[in-house]
Chain A
Amino acid sequence: MTDPQRDHPPGPSAGSAVPSWAAGVAAGLAAAGCHDVLYVPDNPLSHILEALRRDHPGVRTRLATREEEAMGIAAGLHLGGARPAVLMQSSGLGNTLNAIGSLLVPYQIPLLMVISMRGDAGEWNAAQVPMGRAVVPVLDAFGIEHLAVERGEEAEGTVLALAHLAFGTRTQAACLLPRRLTVPVRGGVA
């Protein structure tokens, strides 16, 4: 039986090489002391889960049914002394707005978000575009710092710096993973 506290089975990326950006995000989470990771799955995120499973056994990953719920669990983990992170797709940020606006921000509960982008360059699904475009304006509306990772080798440092900001100053911070990083277009049109 899988352990629900460390529940990601070998995913689609198992066996194949973990991309450098995913290894970097995982290393940044571990180095920042984020030992409690909540997630709702997404394809690129599966590489991060795989990197955590493979390289960082001290990091627990737990599935939530909805990103808003993940933020509630993360808030409780923080009340108990943990440094939580939530991994989600950009669409999932839309599911979290009231958790951010009426729990995390007013109570100054720190959280690191890792957001796998959809709807940006390389997208093929029109239903992903409006929410994807809203991610940065939404984060700005809440005053949440965000940085996009442009190259794999930047990932660890970006995650670490955002985690310092979040947990050092009791705020929230978001690391954005653009689609051209996570799913490079290789020629032809979808």
Chain B
Amino acid sequence: MTRFEAVRLIREWAPDDPVVASLGHPAYDLFASGDRDLNFYTWGSMGLTSSIALGLALARPALAVHALDGDGSLLMNLGALATIGNLAPANLAVFVLDNGVYGTTGGQPTPTSRGADLEAAARAMGIARTATARGENGLRQALAAVREAPGPWVVVVKVEESAPTARPPLDCVFIKQRFMAALGQE
């Protein structure tokens, strides 16, 4: 399963939920899988995707909030897992698109390609609901579990790098304002 295939499955599974995507290829693939107001594309702040999604989940407990993180990006902010475990919002699911590389910057291997286990890290930080999904069927099973049991969830999705075919809008303020408007803010 490529990252794009995984992102498309997640998008189809959650057509009406806000999604926060990590910079680079994860955000590009979210855009390619179908642009919409409830997609929040980051263009920087590497590592903060799960934190942004956490903040939104805390502010809006009635929403199901999803993060599309990268393995390299989450590794830059591993403390986020401890905070998610500590605050434990039931309405947050973090999907780590783990391709074992920094795909966006040329494919340099990340520590997950040598055994670093982000699902185990999430568990060790007090997040009770975790999974590692392999293949489309594995991801479908994990998505069904996420809908069934309250979070916070961390789902590590093992994916192959794929060349993105499109890029999100570059106007950061536009991205934010339409996202907030779709959530009924300002």
Tell me which of B8-16, B54-62, B106-114, B133-141 binds A: B54-62
A120 lies within 8 A of chain B by Cβ:
no
**Which of A80, A103, A109 makes the CB contact (< 8 A) with B59?**
A80
CB-based nearest A residue for B180: A79
Shortest CB–CB separation between residue B48 and chain A, in angstroms? 3
Tell me the A57-112 residues at the B interface (CB within 8 Å).
62-66, 68-69, 71-82, 84, 98-99, 101-103, 106-109
A81 lies within 8 A of B77 (CB): no
- Is B176's CB under 8 angstroms from A76's CB? no
Does A4 belong to the interface (CB within 8 Å)? yes
B45 at the binding interface (Cβ < 8 Å): yes
Which chain A residue lies CB-closest to B48?
A72
CB contact between A79 and one of B50, B77, B176 (< 8 Å): that residue: B176
Query: Contacting A73 at CB < 8 Å: which of B51, B60, B63, B183?
Result: B51
User: Are the CB atoms of B48 and A79 closer together than 8 Å?
Assistant: no
Known: A68-B77, A103-B45. A76 touches B59 (CB 8 A): yes
Q: Taking the nearest CB of chain B, how far is it from the CB of A90, in angstroms?
A: 20
Q: Bound complex: CA of A84 vs CA of B55, how far in Å?
A: 10
Contact A64 B52 (CB under 8 A): no
The reply on B28 being an interface residue by CB < 8 A is no
Q: A65-B79, A69-B79, A103-B44 are known contacts. Are A77 and B86 too (CB-CB below 8 A)?
A: no
In the complex the two chains form, is A80's CB within 8 Å of B87's CB?
A: no
Question: With A and B bound together, what is the CA distance between A63 and B44 in angstroms?
Answer: 23
A65 touches B57 (CB 8 A): no
Minimum CB–CB distance for B147 against chain A, Å:
21
Per a CB cutoff under 8 Å, which of A5, A65, A73 touches B55?
A73
- Considering the chains assembled together, what is the distance between the CA atoms of A81 and B176 in angstroms? 12
Chain A's interface: helix, strand, loop or mixed, by majority? Answer: helix
- Roughly how many angstroms separate A26 CA and B149 CA in the complex, as a whole number? 38
A36 located at the interface, meaning its Cβ lies under 8 Å from any Cβ of chain B in the complex: yes
- Nearest residue, chain A, Cβ from B56: A76
Q: Is B122 an interface residue (CB 8 A)?
A: no
In the bound assembly, the distance between CA atoms of A79 and B80 in angstroms comes to 18
> Which A-chain residue is minimally distant from B89 (CB atoms)?
A5
Q: Which residue of B lies closest to A70 (CB)?
A: B51
Known contacts A69-B80, A80-B55: A107-B175 contact under CB 8 Å: yes
Residue of A63, A75, A98, A109 near B83 (CB, 8 A) is: A63
Q: Does B39 sit within 8 A of A, measured CB to CB?
A: no
Asked if B51 and A69 make an inter-chain contact with CB atoms under 8 angstroms apart, the answer reads yes
Instruction: State A109–B44 Cα separation when bound (angstroms).
Output: 14
What chain B residues lie within 8 Å of A81 (beta carbons)? 59-60, 180, 183-185
A1-31 interface mask toward B, CB cutoff 8 Å, 1 = contact, 0 = none? 0001100000000000000000000000000
Given contacts A65-B79, A73-B51, contact A79 B173 (CB under 8 A): no
B53 cross-chain contacts in A, Cβ below 8 A: 76
Which residues from chain A contact B7 at a C-beta distance below 8 Å?
none
Output the nearest chain B residue to A101 by Cβ-Cβ distance. B44
B44 / chain A contacts, CB cutoff of 8 Å: 98, 101-103, 106
A4, A66, A82, A103: which contacts B79 (Cβ < 8 A)?
Answer: A66
A107→B172 contact, CB < 8 A: yes
CA distance in complex: A19, B8 (Å): 54
What distance in Å separates the Cβ of B185 from its nearest Cβ neighbour in chain A?
5
B31 in contact (CB, < 8 A): no
CB pair A36–B45 under 8 Å, yes or no, is no
List, sorted by A's number, 7 A–B pairs whose CB atoms are closer than 8 Å.
A36-B59, A69-B79, A72-B52, A72-B54, A73-B51, A73-B54, A76-B56
